Amino acid sequence: MSRPTIAGVARAAGVSVASVSRVLNGLPATEEMVERVQRAVQELGYVPDARARSLKVGRTFQLTLAVADVGNPVYVTMMRAVEEVVSAAGYRLVVTTTGPDVVDEVALVRGMARGYADGLLISPIRVDEDLVKSIRECEVPVVVAGNVPAKAGVDTVRANSPKGMLLAVEHLVSEGRTRIAFLNGPSDTVPGAARSKGFTEALKAHDLQPAALAEATDFTFAAGRATAPELLGAEFDAVICANDLLAVGLMHELAARGLRVPEDVAVVGMDDSELAEQCFPTLTSVNLGSAERGRRAAELLLARIEDTERTPRRIVVQPSLSIRRSTP
């Protein structure tokens, strides 16, 4: 049986080939025409030839999302939001991992010149001058889900980590917890630096000093549990962690040492990922809007593809606090 063609769809719908093309490419058309073409497509089982379409319009209709760790729940949430937006616009989404090294981030951006995608949405965990330069010179549109200097001349969507940290500290203080420790990830990363700064500022706002500070080697469960003992020699009644994975790692170590959450130690995470609902006790966590950041970043990338001369936008997504059983 021969493969259905666009001409066959046109005959079945009783419209011209040009009309079918308009509907399939999402161009303006009457509701009646759209309905007739879509009905014919379904009846015939027509599948557009993506290769021919790419050659004709000079696009791959493929976009790349690059994150540091696809296993991190916060990136999974972001990926789902991005995919929903771009698939509705007719694009496929390819997800790749850069890892923690900025050299690999730079290599990925420069590799976009190979033409396998029409645009890049990247969430860099580390940023240096080489990365900024590669983004500025990239041959396809780039949107950053994170924070890069304005001189990069690129659309960005970032979280307000300092405000999120303030929400966490205010909640703990309102519950009578004033000896607050902080478990961070690497401070030379974008999230690590932002959350460290936010923690310091939030304590100052309440005339408090850190009860203890520790820095994990990564933003993972294993790193959180391995680093937790560095805090345990200090006197504290609460710990804020730079993300949910670190927080759950900490809670495991606290439990292993006979400390109860939240009776002995209240714990707050950041990201408000699915993990916060799945652990026990459930984790109070700062929601940094990962889904919203993904959605807004995807919309900016699609807009940039359509108009490369647009003035870059810098969007900040505001946080909220999800209170659960790990705090009083």
Tell me the three state secondary structure of residue 176: coil
Name beta bridge partners: 200: none
Q: What is the pLDDT of residues 212-248, one digit of tens each?
A: 999 999 999 999 999 999 999 899 999 999 999 999 9
Q: What is the pLDDT of residues 250-285, one digit of tens each?
A: 999 999 999 999 999 999 999 999 999 999 999 999
Q: Using the structure block, give the residue that is written with the tokens 């080939």.
A: 17
Q: Using the structure block, give the residue that is written with the tokens 């259905």.
A: 4
d(CA 51, CA 33): 25
Q: Is the dihedral of CA 167, 246, 94, 109 positive or negative?
A: positive
Exposed/middle/buried for residue 80 (C-beta within 10 Å: 0-12, 13-18, 19+)? middle
Amino acid identity of residue 256, one-letter, is A
| Res. 55 pLDDT band, cuts 50 70 90 | very low
d(CA 290, CA 79): 9
Per DSSP, the residues of 68-116 read S-TTSHHHHHHHHHHHHHHHHTT-EEEEEE--S-HHHHHHHHHHGGG-S
pLDDT at 115: 83
Mean pLDDT, residues 96-109 taken together: 90
Host H or E run for residue 238: strand 238-241
pLDDT at 22 over 60: yes
Please state the separation of Cα 147 from the chain's center in Å: 12
Mean of the per-residue pLDDT values of the chain: 91
Q: How many CA atoms lie within 13 A of 133 on its CB side?
A: 6
Q: Which residues of 264-300 are buried (b: 16+ CB within 10 A; e: fewer)?
A: ebbbbbbbbbebbeebeeebbbbbbbbbbbbbbbbbb
Please state the separation of Cα 167 from the chain's center in Å: 21
Mean pLDDT, residues 22-50 taken together: 78
| Res. 4 pLDDT band, cuts 50 70 90 | confident
Mean pLDDT, residues 158-170 taken together: 97
